[in-house]
Amino acid sequence: MKEILFNDVKKERMERLDSLKEGCWINIEKATHEDIEYVAKLTNLHVRDIEDALDMHELPRIEREGDNVILFVRDTQEQDKEDVYTTPLTVIINSKYLITVSPVSSRTIRSIIEGDISFSTTEKSSFLMNLLLIISKNFTKGVKNVRSSVLKQKGELKKVKGLDIVKLIEGEEILNQYISALTPMKIVIEAIAKGGFIPLYAKDDDLLEDMNIAIRQSVDNCTVGVKSIRNLRDSYQAIFTNNLNNTIRLLTSLTVILTIPTIVGSLFGMNVPLPLAGNDSAFAIIILIVFLMAFGFYIILKRKDWI
């Protein structure tokens, strides 16, 4: 899906255009190889320079090719069938256009186009700074959601189930993917801050500082979150092991207790002369003996805290 948008400092909302205009924003979502070829022709880039925009596992980085600055970043997204929790977003800036390319539908881009957030497409550096700030806030929100889920599970250790372990593993994978995306993004922002890729203005300094702070906090929170998940998982393992030991011990005790009636019944079922063979109350006496022996073993095991 390709759309052309334009907004300058004099307008409050973006407008859609039918044709290209200097200073416009070209947004391409669910991009295909044909879209990559279109962008390559538009920017005088080689296809190989931007084909990584379709790679779902591409790492953040920044490059300069001629008049173009190519920025590969990652944004958060909901779980998909490939268990990828971040998605690539490519931003290309040159003297004429601002171009964004994503292999999937980007929630961040949609929020800018369809929501109340509106930036001037003619001020490319400011637009990029605000876009990156939104992405950093998305990561902060995602980390907060995972940590809230972990803290909730901590309060329910005694009710642990197999599904809780699955949720922990999923949360750890999310945080690890966030760290893998945020660490190189921090380097990218530091490179932008030096001013060697795009011209920066005084008003961009605050945005850069906010981004640096947000990304550092997100990385630190991810690291703390991963440690918490591992500690909680170790606690779950200890609880599972203890519950298993208790179960085995209980079953062993029951086996010992129930073995007594089996042995007595086997002995008195033999076709040989046995005690009480001529006693009319033999059955009741045998049952009483079995009960007393089983009860005796129960008391012994109970005192040893086996059951």
Tell me: the pLDDT tens digits for 235-252?
777 777 887 888 888 888
Taking a C-beta distance cutoff of 8 angstroms, is the pair 42, 97 a contact?
yes
Please indicate, yes or no, if residue 1 is contained in any of the structural domains: yes
Per the CB < 8 A criterion, the answer to whether 260 and 294 are in contact is yes
| Minimum mean pLDDT range among 139-143, 158-162, 234-238, 278-282 | 158-162
pLDDT tier, 72 (very low <50, low <70, confident <90, very high otherwise): very high
The pLDDT tens digits of the residues spanning 106-144 come to 888 888 887 766 678 888 888 888 888 888 888 888 888
89 inside domain: yes
DSSP state of 18: S
Write down which residue in 120, 139, 173 finishes a domain. 120
Decide if 57 is inside a domain. yes
Has residue 19 been placed in a domain?
yes
In angstroms, the CA 59 to CA 183 distance is 10
CATH of residue 262: 1.20.58
Distance CA 124, CA 98 (A): 7
On whether residue 218 sits in a domain, the answer given is no
Structure tokens at 66: 């001629």
The answer on pLDDT for 201 being more than 70 is no
Q: How confident is the model at residue 182 (pLDDT cuts 50, 70, 90)?
A: confident
**Structural tokens at position 100:** 């964004």
The answer to whether 274 and 233 have CB atoms below 8 angstroms apart is: no
Looking only at Cα atoms, what is the longest distance across the chain? 114
What is the amino acid identity at position 234? D
Which range is least confidently modeled, 42-56, 145-159, 213-227?
145-159
Do the beta carbons of residue 128 and residue 55 sit within 8 Å?
no
Look at residue 82 in the predicted model and tell me its pLDDT.
Answer: 59
Is the pLDDT at 148 greater than 60? The verdict is yes
Bridge partners of 72? Answer: 61, 90
C-alpha torsion 192→193→198→204, nearest 10 = 120
More confident of the two residues 204 and 3:
3
Whether 104 maps to a domain, the answer reads yes
Overall number of domains in the chain? 2
pTM, full prediction: 0.74
Query: Does residue 136 lie within any of the structural domains?
Result: no
Average pLDDT over residues 2-24: 82
User: What would the mean pLDDT of 67-74 be, rounded to a whole number?
Assistant: 90
Band of pLDDT at residue 232, cut at 50, 70 and 90:
confident
* Percentage of the chain exceeding pLDDT 70: 88
Distance of CA 10 to the CA centre of its chain: 41
Whether the predicted pLDDT of 165 surpasses 80: no
Distance, in Å, from the CA atom of 270 to the CA atom of 286, rounded to the nearest integer, reads 14
The pLDDT of 219-247, averaged and rounded, is: 82
Of 40-44, 100-104, 260-264, 277-281, least confident by mean pLDDT is 277-281
Mean of all residue pLDDT scores within the chain: 82
| Domain hosting residue 285, numbered range | 246-303
Is residue 80 pLDDT above 60, yes or no?
Answer: no
Q: Is 10 exposed, middle or buried (0-12, 13-18, 19+ CB in 10 A)?
A: exposed
Predicted pLDDT of residue 28: 92
Domain boundary among 120, 150, 178: 120
Q: In the structure, what pLDDT confidence band is assigned to residue 307 with cuts at 50, 70 and 90?
A: low
Whether 80 is in a domain gets the answer yes
The confidence score (pLDDT) of residue 287 equals 81
Residue with tokens 């980085």: 61
| Contact (Cβ atoms closer than 8 angstroms) between residue 157 and residue 62 | no
Which CATH number fits the domain that encloses residue 82? Answer: 3.30.460.20
Q: Domain ends where: 120, 154, 173?
A: 120
Q: How many CB atoms lie within 10 A of CB 148?
A: 10
